[in-house]
Structure 1
Amino acid sequence: MNTLSSHVLDTTAGCPAAGIPITLTTPDGQSYEGMTDDDGRCKDWGQPTLDAGIYHLRFHCHGYLSTRHGNSFYPYVDIAFELADNGGHYHVPLLISPFGFSSYRGS
């Protein structure tokens, strides 16, 4: 069984990014909505089954960055990744600032 979590960190402010909406799209095109909590984390996707395949996370960061920093070059950040059969837990962190972002496979 696969599980998925994410964590968004504001590298300009040096803190978690709370209140960022995230859309998870599954290989079959279904979409699920999540939101980062006060610690910038999201792990509740509305109970989708996470089978093997290519998934897509869209981080809707424009509102957060514009409000917090007065500017945002990116209206959203898209990350595509692949889950394996019985791959266990997957963690997709996002580091953001008004003019840059980075991601990696976390633990």
Structure 2
Amino acid sequence: MSGRLTTHVLDLARGIPVSGIVLQLRRLENGESLLLREAATNADGRLDTPLLEDAEMKPGEYELLFHAGDYFRKMDAEISETSSSRVQESTGFLDLIPIRFHIGSEGGHYHVPLLLAPGGYSTYRGS
């Protein structure tokens, strides 16, 4: 079985996948951070292809950096356009969300989802 690294992003507050969120994958090695890939999520909150697969899967330390601030600023703009005169609280608490993790097996499937809300986030190793 070939290895692969995948992700997806869900907006827990709205109960929908997050489309258009930009993310970067970096490999952390010898005190350096090497950008491997930059992509944006599709309408399903996923990427069209795995972040890494097959020969690209190497054991080591990695970081996914999610540009959540851009998504929340867009949501704030949409809320402002559709809301009445009542004051809406800004969702601008989170900006860049780094998730560092270890790949130990070249042949494994590593799925790193981001569950996002205006005041916090969660992640886990999915299947």
Q: Which has the higher helix share?
A: 2
User: TM-score, normalising length from structure 1?
Assistant: 0.88
Q: Letter of the aligned partner of 2:51 in structure 1? A: W
Greater shift after overlay, 68-77 or 58-67? 68-77
> Structure 1 residue 27: deviation in Å?
3.2
- Over 3 Å counting, the alpha-carbon distance change for 1:95 and 1:16 in structure 2 is same
Runs of 5+ in structure 1 lacking a partner? none
Greater shift after overlay, 54-63 or 44-53? 44-53
User: TM-score, normalising length from structure 2?
Assistant: 0.76
Query: Runs in 1 of length 4+ with deviation above 6 angstroms?
Result: none
Question: Residue 51 of structure 2 corresponds to which residue in structure 1?
Answer: 45
Is the contact between residue 34 and residue 44 of structure 1 (CA under 8 Å) also seen in structure 2?
no
Say what the alpha-carbon RMSD is for the aligned residues.
1.9
Is the contact between residue 93 and residue 104 of structure 1 (CA under 8 Å) also seen in structure 2?
yes
Q: Does 1:24 pair with 2:25?
A: yes
- Over 3 Å counting, the alpha-carbon distance change for 1:27 and 1:49 in structure 2 is farther
Question: Residue 105 of structure 1 corresponds to which residue in structure 2?
Answer: 125
Question: Residue 80 of structure 2 corresponds to which residue in structure 1?
Answer: none
> Could you tell me how far apart the structure 1 residues matched to 2:123 and 2:104 are?
19
How many percent of aligned residue pairs carry the same amino acid?
Answer: 37
- Over 3 Å counting, the alpha-carbon distance change for 1:87 and 1:27 in structure 2 is farther
Equivalenced residue count is: 107
Runs of 5+ in structure 2 lacking a partner? 77-89
